[in-house]
Structure 1
Amino acid sequence: MAKGGQASNNQAVARASMEDSSSPFYLHNGYHPGLNLVSHALTGTNYNTWNRAMSMALTAKNKLGFVDGSFSQPPTDDLVYGSLLRCNSMVISWILNSVNREIADSLLYFPTAYEIWIDLQDRFQQINDPRIFQIKKLLNGLQQGSMDVSTYYTCMRTLWDELKEFQPVSVCKSGAIKDWINYHNQECSMQFLMGLNESYEQNQAQILMMDPLPIISKIFSLVMQEERQRSCEARGRRGRGVIAGAMRWHGK
């Protein structure tokens, strides 16, 4: 009876673990092997952004521990071991759905999501210095050109945010974080203003006269307002031109 009671209690604990939404072994009804967690599949060259997107998605689903090795695997005779196998297979399926076909084919025979994660890291994680060089080169050549302001800003911020991931902040001295953030904002703001088309020269001058220099999101908002105003004025001119043309045609 004691053994039976102990087994029953263990089963109850295991069942509670699987039904607890805070447990890593919990699988929501909406989770299925065909689920795609990221919008852009891993091709190899986009590993850093893919890794970040996948990490956030797995964290949201409380499954990051299956790929980062943060929790230990229970023994095979543990009652939650079956749940671990199911969750591991689910995470493997999610990873395979998030990489291109050629990469997926090379991952099929790894037994754990953790081993897949490490293999992808070993294969595609770039050494910092070459990637930093590449990002800075792209930033130096980035110009608005034919892009609208929003697209140009998005391209620039994507590069800046990735660059920031490679540049850890020193917190040894008081105020170091604040100084670094202010410096980063100034660099980002200057890059954005320098890349704008010449038609925004007046706006550039007005913004640079502000003290202190606004944060990059505020600068973007100011330039966007100017772009929208120009667009409205252009539509108004076209509308007046159409009306004037119609009046001339009727006058004839």
Structure 2
Amino acid sequence: MAYYGKLKVMWDELVNCEPISTCRFGGCKCSITAKLEKKREENRVRQFLMGFDDVIYRIIHSNILSINSLSSLNRVYAIIIQEELHREIDQDSEERGDVVGFATQANYGARVVAATARPNDKIVICTNCGKPGHEVNECFKITGYPYSWRDGP
């Protein structure tokens, strides 16, 4: 959005500096102004698409450019925004998957943990350290930490 905003400001300034010429002949039916405006719009679409990373946006870039008559700039912008939203959703779901994986690894050694307990399970809490997942006779603070647990949990 920021990139499009910067381009839009520059394009607006260019329109002020270089307005599209109109036909000087009264009653002319050549529609040169509409043709020049369409050409300017196509150039803007190309400029807009050229600013994106080829590695990430190669497919969407080629799909848009493969259309015989280029879409309007607003339509191309909407397509890119939609693609960005899909990428964000995909990235968020991947990150959530990693977090769930880490949580599973963290709870691996516990027998019964409050966060993973089912409603009918009894939550066991150590009377020595007050942490869930073990009883006092299995508390590492009493029995000692395993060799692999050098620096504590």
Match of 2:33 among 152, 159, 177: 177
CA shift, 1:168, in A, is 2.3
CA shift, 1:245, in A, is 0.7
What aligned pairs does 1:107-118 form with structure 2 within 5 A after superposition?
none
Q: Indicate the structure with greater helix content.
A: 1
The reply to whether residue 153 of structure 1 matches residue 16 of structure 2 is: no
1:191 match: 47
Structure 1 unaligned regions, length at least 5: 1-149
Paired with 2:12 and 2:108, the residues of 1 have a C-alpha distance of 59
1:220 match: 77
CA shift, 1:169, in A, is 2.2
2:62 is paired with a residue of what secondary structure?
helix
TM-score between the two structures when normalised by the length of structure 2: 0.64
Paired with 2:77 and 2:86, the residues of 1 have a C-alpha distance of 14
Q: How many aligned residue pairs are there?
A: 103
What aligned pairs does 1:31-110 form with structure 2 within 5 A after superposition?
none
Paired with 1:209 and 1:219, the residues of 2 have a C-alpha distance of 13
Match of 1:203 among 57, 60, 68: 60
Structure 2 unaligned regions, length at least 5: 110-153
Query: Quick check: which has more Rg, 1 or 2?
Result: 2
2:18 match: 167
1:251 is paired with a residue of what secondary structure?
coil
User: Identity across aligned pairs (percent)?
Assistant: 23
Q: Which moved more, 1:169-178 or 1:213-222?
A: 169-178
One-letter amino acid of the structure 2 residue matched with residue 151 of structure 1:
A
TM-score between the two structures when normalised by the length of structure 1: 0.40
2:100 match: 243
Conserved in 1, the CA contact under 8 Å of 2:45 and 2:72? yes
2:68 is paired with a residue of what secondary structure?
coil
Paired with 1:230 and 1:168, the residues of 2 have a C-alpha distance of 38
Paired with 2:17 and 2:107, the residues of 1 have a C-alpha distance of 66
Paired with 2:20 and 2:100, the residues of 1 have a C-alpha distance of 59
CA shift, 1:211, in A, is 2.4
Paired with 2:19 and 2:85, the residues of 1 have a C-alpha distance of 37
**1:211-230: per-residue Cα shift (whole Å, max 9, x none)?**
21101111011011111100
Q: Which has the higher contact order (CA 8 A, sep 6+)?
A: 1
Paired with 2:93 and 2:71, the residues of 1 have a C-alpha distance of 31
